[in-house]
Structure 1
Amino acid sequence: MHIEEALTKQYGPLMSIAQLAACLDRSAEGLRISLRTESEWSKSINATKLKLGRRVYFRTAEIALVLSGK
């Protein structure tokens, strides 16, 4: 099973910051702080960000690409 299939099956097409933190085995606050830094990793994760109103989500398919290194 591919990363994208597994993540989509577990979280759906969009991931909240809490779900992304759980996937990365980090705390939600620690992930928020990490995403504010100017690093290549944070830029690639922030590129998947989608804001719906005041809520922030991350596209699961694009997160899978980042995690697979593509």
Structure 2
Amino acid sequence: MTSEQYLLDRFGPLMSMAQVANLLDRSADGFRVAMYSDSELSRKLKPAVVRVGRRVYFRTLQVNQALSLDTPALQA
């Protein structure tokens, strides 16, 4: 099972801010602050943002690509 399929099975097509924070092992408030600052993480994840009313969601497939979860680790 690929990480893409795992994330889709676990979260569906959209992930809430709390779910992404949990995936990154961060607090929801800390992740929210990191997303509103200019950081490497926010630059990678901002294209995945979808707003539904006042709620913020992230496209699961784009989160997978932004975090490069399917890329094999470099071997030394």
Distance 1:22 1:40 in 2: 18
Under a length normalisation based on structure 2, what TM-score does the superposition of the two structures give? 0.84
Q: CA deviation at 1:43?
A: 1.1
Distance 1:35 1:21 in 2: 10
- The higher radius of gyration belongs to 2
Distance 1:55 1:37 in 2: 18
Distance 1:25 1:6 in 2: 17
Q: CA deviation at 1:46?
A: 1.2
Q: Where do 5+ consecutive residues of structure 2 fail to align? A: 72-76
| Identity between Structure 1 and Structure 2 (%) | 44
The correspondence of residues 1-70 of structure 1 with structure 2, limited to 5 A, is 1-68=1-68
Distance 1:39 1:27 in 2: 17
Q: Where do 5+ consecutive residues of structure 1 fail to align? A: none
After superposition, the CA RMSD in angstroms is 1.4
Q: CA deviation at 1:44?
A: 1.2
Q: Which amino acid aligns with 2:40?
A: E
Question: Does the 8 Å contact 1:3/1:68 carry over to 2?
Answer: no
Under a length normalisation based on structure 1, what TM-score does the superposition of the two structures give? 0.90
The alignment of Structure 1 onto Structure 2 pairs a total of residues equal to: 70
Query: Where do 4+ consecutive residues of structure 1 move more than 2 Å?
Result: none
Q: CA deviation at 1:37?
A: 1.5
